[in-house]
Structure 1
């Protein structure tokens, strides 16, 4: 049953209902929680406005104050959750902490890349970050399949997806909170006919980092993202040197990363160095898990 913010906004008893829904439907609960935060903020703004207004002293008593407070709460509730309002921004922030809905990789599906998840508790002994191993386990099968199709090394693709998503901890989401499954930060240009996610991102303009809202491609699954990334590199002449380097020297992470940056894949001036480090980490993690 959907929660109605008008019935419990600013009411502490509604927290229990929100918690119960969060266990059943995190996405909807996140939306409702965002509305509650916005309602609280709006109510506080109205309180401050009332306090800054001089009282006449006529016809004002405790009953009129209570009535005014109830009216302010009603206004605050009605103004929350409107399109383009504060709740939308709050919801996007809260959604980043939701667990990914993607199912875990089946046991044995990543043979040759990683071992099964029961080995994860022992990773600390090998100096292997748990989040890195989990990311490789989740996407290794897709990377390997696309590697066979495209000739691009699975290690390079996994590493770039890890770099773009912070090892899966900063996954891109559409405005409605659904996963965009865009693991490579590929933007939706004029020729893109598929799904689109508008996301706030960092762009380097004249060497200065700036926050901008850009349109990115969205996919139905992570594997579609890997496949589209491979098509982008192998089907575009600007990335020809990067592809040739990857296919000729799959153990030379620095060369691939430099060619990719020179081709204009990203605006970050240190992108090549960062990507090369993540590729080396990916290789090290897989060796530790072999």
Structure 2
């Protein structure tokens, strides 16, 4: 279950250049390592002149290409830690305060701490920064990236998203649910988790962020193999801030 690809930008394999050193994955830390590598190579290129080959057999042209690839990778899902790094603390707090009443209600119904529900909404919506929008630009209030499956009779919108198959990401257009307001979205989310036996492992998890996240992942909530870890990371951050 995914939000639109405003969050995702893929680097095409066609951008690979012969002799270019392998690139680290743009994960939590991988992207930083890549940028440090690129910065060092470009600095050496500037110091040595345009005719020089960079260490590791990387030509100036390849260095330029790698820098462009690194810039594109900055928009990849793993380039921004799930914890919300890059989102100002005040903005994160405002998002959590805005959804707090609904998160508390959903938490009571599901037997989990409201922080865990809030963390799920934060992860799926990019802390409210990447709302799923309808074709006319209006907000669908779909904070949990729920698809229009299972006999859904409400409003819908189609959006480009990224799914994973055998660990590989691919783009696809899916139909998502649309709600009149955030309250309706939280109510539908609560019904889905409570009534679908696939998510039994997430119910009554209490304060246990890992159990909640792994219960959702085991039920097939998302195809991203790193989904449980990302959700747990956000939940623990929120729990820590509330202590």
Aligned twin of 2:125: 165
Q: Do the aligned residues in 2 keep the contact of 1:132 with 1:285 (CA within 8 Å)?
A: no
Aligned pair count? 156
Q: Do the aligned residues in 2 keep the contact of 1:196 with 1:216 (CA within 8 Å)?
A: yes
Deviation at 1:286, TM superposition (A): 2.9
Deviation at 1:170, TM superposition (A): 0.7
Structure 2 CA distance for aligned equivalents of residues 182 and 154 of structure 1: 18
Q: State yes or no: 1:284 paired with 2:232.
A: no
Q: State yes or no: 1:270 paired with 2:230.
A: no
Deviation at 1:148, TM superposition (A): 3.3
User: What TM-score, normalized by structure 1, do the two folds share?
Assistant: 0.52
Deviation at 1:212, TM superposition (A): 1.1
Q: State yes or no: 1:188 paired with 2:148.
A: yes
Structure having the higher helix fraction is: 1
Deviation at 1:208, TM superposition (A): 0.9
Aligned twin of 1:230: 190
User: What TM-score, normalized by structure 2, do the two folds share?
Assistant: 0.61
Q: 2:134 aligns with which of 174, 177, 180?
A: 174
Q: State yes or no: 1:201 paired with 2:161.
A: yes
Deviation at 1:190, TM superposition (A): 5.1
Deviation at 1:253, TM superposition (A): 0.6
Q: 1:253 aligns with which of 198, 209, 232?
A: 209
Q: Deviations over 1:127-147 (max 9, x none)?
A: x82221011011011111233
Q: Deviations over 1:271-290 (max 9, x none)?
A: 00000000011112333xxx
Q: Deviations over 1:58-82 (max 9, x none)?
A: xxxxxxxxxxxxxxxxxxxxxxxxx
Q: Do the aligned residues in 2 keep the contact of 1:157 with 1:226 (CA within 8 Å)?
A: no
Unaligned runs of 5+ in 1: 1-127
Higher relative contact order (CA 8 A, sep 6+): 2
Instruction: Specify the structure having the higher radius of gyration (Cα).
Output: 1
Structure 1 CA distance for aligned equivalents of residues 234 and 150 of structure 2: 31
Unaligned runs of 5+ in 2: 1-87
